[in-house]
């Protein structure tokens, strides 16, 4: 029973961070362009003092369904292991969201958007691969750019009523710089409140960026760890591509 409880706790802890501005935990307000697609093939890792969790491969698809609006779907394979025990793997909870930018950036103001999302209970809660109930994230994000520099951040609340889970607040801020046409490097600070009855929340620092092979294809990466609250060592790796319906 203790092993099962640990698996549940850390599977939920990672699923709570699926929604982020790849490759960071902090998101941005920028939607996919109208009639454009984005596809990510990614993996996300989280090592704590009691478990290892890998969400991946995760298949994420975004589509610009209207001006300033895109639809988002992510379907992960969840892999969890309490310390000293075998891995449990299978379909995790799918995520569906809508990103909407309601204020455009100008020389003097940032762009602002919202990105509500629901985590659907498609993973097996009995195996520690899912939440068992749908839960929701309600964030707002803003962004401002200055030449090669871009900074974005914000936060919101997660609403989770599943047994053993808690609603919590989260927020972060990221700064990045384009180092030429093929490489971008950035860093973030991110804070999340306690999302289960057994943890304290955490504050983490991450560094990451993108290696742009072409205008439409990139390798995204980040790594970091918490420095306050619960211990987390985090990483993210993804292959990204985008294309358009327009002729």
Q: Angle CA(234)–CA(112)–CA(101) in degrees, nearest 5?
A: 100
Q: What percent of the chain has pLDDT over 70?
A: 91
46: helix, strand or coil:
strand
Asked whether the predicted pLDDT for residue 18 surpasses 70, the reply is no
Higher pLDDT, 42 or 1: 42
Tell me the pLDDT tens digit for each residue of 181-221.
Answer: 999 999 999 999 999 888 899 999 999 999 999 999 999 99
Q: How far is CA 29 from CA 5, 56, 58, 127, in A?
A: 36, 25, 22, 35
Q: What percent of the chain has pLDDT over 90?
A: 81
pLDDT of 86:
87
Asked whether the predicted pLDDT for residue 231 surpasses 70, the reply is yes
Tell me the pLDDT tens digit for each residue of 43-85.
Answer: 999 998 888 899 999 999 999 999 999 999 999 999 998 877 7
CA-nearest of 178, 168, 185 to 220 is 185
Q: Which residues are CB-contacts of 112 (< 8 A; sequence separation ≥ 6)?
A: 29, 101, 102, 103, 140, 141, 142
Alpha helices in the chain (DSSP H): 2-15
Q: Sign of torsion, CA 212 213 219 223?
A: negative
pLDDT of 17:
42
pLDDT of 51:
84
Taking the model in full, what pTM does it have? 0.89
pLDDT of 20:
53
Kindly state the average pLDDT of the residues 145-156.
Answer: 97
CA-nearest of 18, 8, 144, 34 to 74 is 18
Mean pLDDT, rounded, of the chain: 91
Residue 80: other Cβ atoms inside 10 A:
29
| Domains and their CATH numbers in the chain | 2-244 (2.40.128.130)
At 215, which helix (H) or strand (E)? none
């Amino acid at each position: 029973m203790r092993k099962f409880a640990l698996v549940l706790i850390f599977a939920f802890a990672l699923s709570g961070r699926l929604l982020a501005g790849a490759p960071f935990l902090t998101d941005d307000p920028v939607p996919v362009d109208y009639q454009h697609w984005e596809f990510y093939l990614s993996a996300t890792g989280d090592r704590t003092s009691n478990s290892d969790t890998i969400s991946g491969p995760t298949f994420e698809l975004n589509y610009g369904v209207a001006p300033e609006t895109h639809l988002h779907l992510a379907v992960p394979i969840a892999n969890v292991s309490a310390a000293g025990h075998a891995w449990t793997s299978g379909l995790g909870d799918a995520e569906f969201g809508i990103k909407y930018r309601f204020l455009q950036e100008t020389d003097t103001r940032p762009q602002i958007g919202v990105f509500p999302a629901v985590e659907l209970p498609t993973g097996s809660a009995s195996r520690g691969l899912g939440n068992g109930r749908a839960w929701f994230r309600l964030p707002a994000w803003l962004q401002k750019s200055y030449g090669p520099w871009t900074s974005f951040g914000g936060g919101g609340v997660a609403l989770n009523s599943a047994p053993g889970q808690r609603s919590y607040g989260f927020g972060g801020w990221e700064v990045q710089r384009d180092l030429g046409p093929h490489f971008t490097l950035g860093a973030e600070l991110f804070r999340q409140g306690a999302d289960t009855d057994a943890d304290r929340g955490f504050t983490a620092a991450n560094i990451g960026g993108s290696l742009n092979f072409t205008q439409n294809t990139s390798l995204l990466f980040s790594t970091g760890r918490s420095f306050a609250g619960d211990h987390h060592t985090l990483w993210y790796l993804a292959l990204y591509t985008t294309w358009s319906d327009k002729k």
